[in-house]
């Protein structure tokens, strides 16, 4: 019976029964019976405690169960978020990556090209992207360049309703003559596969009055409101750009109009363009006509004539620098996200004037730009006042700080200044500290003269450059077809007459690529450029210092420059550039080198063969009648 009773007892009853059994019995109670030490109330207290503990246990269990559920949910969400983030990361989500300190522009030679003038692939006698791509091996393998600068290729530059080149109808579309965006992407991919960087040129100073920004009233054109009647453009033209009844300012005159680059909406529109092309994968931007970005009203109030050269120095304002600084900030943010270097360069544009002994005012951009195209070695723009000259062309360059020199783009021609065959300037641009940039054709000694009738069926087909007249130093002369061969067949298969041959002989007086490559003649400019580019691979030329040797300045009539290039841990080089060689001229470098090895003598000198060791570094140029002499010696 007791066993049956135990079976039907509840857990609570069994617990109470067990407690009763364990309570001690007092034998000497008053009634003589054995009585539990605890009273009935004590039993109830214990019962209450048991019930209380049981309730607490159940409540605690429920709380922990809730906590476990919440934690499990949070952990599951975190795992899911991590999975999604990892997927996006692998798929190419923008990420911050450490940027290498080395830059392609400080270690390579640039090649500057007008694509429209380089090579035609479709028979319209105008160069295009596919033609440009077909000569990538020439640029990379033959010339040895590491990056290219493409002149403007956006819509309107060549194909427009006006008889001129240089306009912009849309910054985010290509000119129809140069090709399509698919063509551009293909060029970019092929150049990158050959480790060639691509830099695009943009002129944000002015746009065509047909530009969508003007039609949509998205940007603010430039206007001087206080004294419109006295305002002039760079070429002395009155303000006559009429847009919806309002007169606006233009450097070049109608049909282009200058933009107010201090206006926020205008800046944002420009930044959108820059981001668009960086998303396409370009490696840099060259801002052209930087001297005219932000012109001040007082610069144009006094007279209706072209500004004189001293006044033109005043156009280099801090407003120009502030605009480029904002572009710099945008590019820096982009680089931080993408983790790759993007070049920001500036070019003055055509300011007409030479430097005449003054430092190049383009140095105002030294803190905000990576590359500054300077005019030290341009014809009639550097220190020299006349061409040809016997003066030292580098009269200011050697005085610039070394940190500045590493930012200077050195070239003998730009899109605004046509080339002249000056091998000493060309050699200086490749041997002195800075960033050498070869403008297409100058590696052949291409010289553009305004002589003889130009074949109008060839690019630029009789068009002017931004309404500029045709004269000996006109900008249009910087946009002539590349002389690949005498017949012109390599420029365009559509040429079937003698027009290109006449152009080569009368207008540019240049060697042609096929002749100099096949002949491998040591006396050609092409051979000189190749040798100089090979020499520049030495770290001394890439990052070393420059010292001008003053002991040779007594020969100012013949002098061009004698320099020493040094770099810690690398060979020292001596560079000799002579316009004319004096009779019985002696070059004594015993106080610099114990012995020397001849690395280059151009034109060749019988007693100075290449790679010849001279144990006594004293060179006698006896009865030499050579001009434009270039000698490079390596100290041992």
Question: Per-residue pLDDT for 148 more than 90?
Answer: yes
Q: Which of 35-39, 377-381, 420-424, 574-578 has the lowest mean pLDDT?
A: 35-39
Within a domain: residue 341?
yes
Strands (DSSP E) found in 9-82: 25-26, 35-36
Q: Which of 510, 531, 552 is the last residue of a domain?
A: 531
Residues 109 and 176 in one domain: yes
Number of residues that this document lists for the chain = 636
Q: Which of 463, 498, 531 is the last residue of a domain?
A: 531
Question: Per-residue pLDDT for 202 more than 70?
Answer: yes
pLDDT value of position 182: 98
Is the bond preceding 460 in cis, omega lying within 30 degrees of 0? yes
Within a domain: residue 422?
yes
d(CA 84, CA 82): 5
Residues 320 and 438 in one domain: yes
- % pLDDT > 70, the chain: 73
Strand order in the sheet with 545-548: 545-548, 559-566, 573-580, 627-635, 596-602, 613-614
Q: How far is CA 631 from CA 186, 468, 613, 617, in A?
A: 42, 40, 14, 13
Mean pLDDT of the chain: 80
Is the bond preceding 386 in cis, omega lying within 30 degrees of 0? no
Residues 523 and 589 in one domain: no
Within a domain: residue 621?
yes
Greatest mean pLDDT among 220-224, 353-357, 521-525, 609-613: 609-613
Residues 380 and 508 in one domain: yes
Within a domain: residue 133?
yes
Q: Which of 303-317, 320-334, 592-606 has the lowest mean pLDDT?
A: 303-317
479 and 509 Cβ atoms separated by less than 8 Å: no
Residues 525 and 608 in one domain: no
Query: Taking the alpha carbons of 621, 626, 629, 634 in that order, is the dihedral positive or negative?
Result: negative
Which residue carries 């209450």 as its tokens? Answer: 48
Query: Taking the alpha carbons of 92, 96, 98, 101 in that order, is the dihedral positive or negative?
Result: positive
Residues 373 and 329 in one domain: yes
d(CA 455, CA 257): 31
Within a domain: residue 61?
no
Residues 311 and 280 in one domain: yes
Q: How many CB atoms lie within 10 A of CB 625?
A: 7
- Could you tell me the CATH number of the domain that includes residue 564? 2.60.40.1180
Q: Which of 505, 531, 557 is the last residue of a domain?
A: 531
- Could you tell me the CATH number of the domain that includes residue 140? 3.20.20.80
pLDDT value of position 568: 92
Structure-model confidence comparison of residues 118 and 401, the more confident one? 118
pLDDT band, very low/low/confident/very high, at 507 (cuts 50, 70, 90):
confident
CA-closest candidate to residue 438, choices 407, 410, 464: 410
pLDDT value of position 216: 92
DSSP state of 396: T
d(CA 416, CA 476): 8
407 and 372 Cβ atoms separated by less than 8 Å: yes
Domain count, the chain: 2
CA-closest candidate to residue 177, choices 217, 262, 119, 137: 119
Residues 550 and 413 in one domain: no
Which residue carries 């599951």 as its tokens? Answer: 76
Residues 288 and 391 in one domain: yes
Residues 173 and 268 in one domain: yes
One DSSP character per residue, 36-96 reads: ESS-HHHHHHHHHHHHHHHHHHHHHHHHHHHHHHHHHHHHHHHHHHHHHHHHHHHTT----
Within a domain: residue 256?
no
Question: Per-residue pLDDT for 431 more than 50?
Answer: yes
* Mean local confidence (pLDDT), 36-55: 43
d(CA 205, CA 448): 27
Residues 365 and 429 in one domain: yes
d(CA 171, CA 368): 23
Using DSSP's 3-state secondary structure scheme, residue 598 falls into strand
Q: Which helix H or strand E contains 437, and what residues bound it?
A: strand 435-439
Strands (DSSP E) found in 441-570: 464-465, 545-548, 559-566
Q: How far is CA 259 from CA 228, 268, 323, in A?
A: 16, 12, 12
Which residue carries 């978020």 as its tokens? Answer: 81
Domain that holds residue 337: 104-207+262-296+304-531
* Mean local confidence (pLDDT), 477-505: 92
Question: Per-residue pLDDT for 239 more than 60?
Answer: yes
pLDDT value of position 60: 54
pLDDT band, very low/low/confident/very high, at 244 (cuts 50, 70, 90):
confident
Within a domain: residue 134?
yes
Residues 416 and 517 in one domain: yes
Within a domain: residue 216?
no
């Amino acid at each position: 019976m007791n066993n049956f009773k135990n079976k039907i007892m509840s857990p609570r009853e069994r617990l109470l029964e067990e407690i009763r059994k364990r309570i001690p019995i007092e034998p000497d109670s008053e009634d003589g019976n054995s009585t539990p030490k605890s009273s009935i109330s004590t039993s109830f207290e214990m019962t209450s405690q048991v019930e209380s503990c049981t309730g607490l246990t159940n409540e605690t269990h429920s709380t922990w169960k809730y906590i476990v559920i919440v934690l499990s949910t949070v952990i599951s969400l975190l795992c899911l978020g991590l999975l999604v983030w990892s997927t996006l990361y692998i798929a190419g989500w923008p990420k911050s990556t450490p940027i290498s300190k080395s830059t392609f522009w400080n270690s390579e030679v640039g090649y500057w090209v007008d694509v429209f003038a380089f090579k035609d692939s479709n028979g319209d006698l105008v160069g295009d992207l596919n033609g440009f791509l077909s000569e990538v091996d020439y640029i990379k393998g033959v010339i040895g360049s590491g990056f290219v600068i493409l002149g403007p290729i956006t819509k309107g530059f060549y194909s427009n309703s006006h008889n001129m080149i240089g306009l912009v109808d849309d910054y985010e579309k290509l000119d129809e003559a140069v090709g399509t965006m698919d063509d551009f992407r293909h060029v970019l991919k092929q150049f990158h596969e050959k480790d060639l960087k691509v830099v695009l040129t943009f002129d944000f100073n002015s746009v065509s009055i047909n530009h969508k920004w003007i039609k949509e009233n998205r940007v603010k054109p430039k206007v001087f409101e206080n004294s419109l009647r006295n305002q002039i453009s760079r070429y002395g033209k009155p303000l006559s750009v009429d847009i919806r009844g309002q007169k606006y300012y233009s450097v070049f005159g109608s049909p282009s109009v200058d933009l107010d680059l201090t206006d926020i909406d205008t800046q944002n529109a420009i930044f959108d363009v820059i981001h668009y092309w960086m998303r396409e994968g370009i490696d840099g931007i060259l801002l052209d006509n930087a001297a005219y970005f932000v012109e001040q009203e007082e610069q144009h109030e006094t007279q209706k004539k072209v500004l004189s050269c001293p006044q033109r120095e005043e156009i280099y304002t801090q407003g120009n620098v502030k605009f480029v600084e904002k572009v710099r900030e945008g590019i820096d943010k982009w680089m931080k996200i993408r983790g790759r270097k993007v070049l920001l360069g500036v070019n003055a544009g055509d300011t007409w004037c030479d430097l005449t002994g003054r430092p190049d005012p383009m140095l105002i951009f030294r803190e905000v730009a990576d590359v500054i195209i300077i005019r030290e070695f341009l014809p009639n723009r550097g220190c020299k006042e006349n061409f040809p000259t016997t003066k030292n062309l580098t009269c200011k360059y050697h005085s610039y700080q070394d940190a500045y020199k590493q930012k200077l783009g050195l070239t003998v021609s730009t899109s605004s200044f046509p080339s002249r065959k000056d091998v000493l300037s060309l050699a200086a641009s490749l041997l002195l500290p800075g960033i050498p940039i070869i403008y297409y054709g100058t590696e052949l000694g291409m010289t553009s003269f305004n002589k003889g009738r130009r074949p109008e069926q060839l690019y630029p087909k009789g068009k002017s450059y931004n309404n500029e007249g045709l004269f000996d130093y006109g900008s249009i002369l910087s946009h002539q077809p590349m002389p690949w061969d005498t017949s012109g067949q390599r420029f365009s298969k559509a040429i079937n007459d003698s027009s290109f041959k006449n152009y080569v002989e009368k207008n540019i007086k240049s060697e042609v690529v096929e002749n100099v490559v096949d002949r491998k003649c040591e006396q050609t400019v092409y051979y000189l450029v190749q040798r100089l580019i090979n020499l520049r691979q030495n770290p001394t030329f890439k990052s070393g210092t420059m010292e001008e040797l003053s002991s040779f300045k007594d020969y100012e009539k013949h002098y061009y420059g004698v320099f020493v290039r040094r770099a810690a841990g690398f060979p020292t080089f001596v560079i000799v550039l002579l316009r004319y060689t004096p009779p019985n001229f002696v070059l004594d470098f015993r106080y610099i080198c114990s012995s020397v090895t001849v690395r280059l003598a151009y034109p060749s000198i019988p007693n100075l063969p290449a790679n010849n060791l001279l144990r006594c570094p004293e060179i006698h140029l006896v009865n030499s009648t050579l001009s434009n002499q270039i000698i490079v010696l390596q100290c041992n």
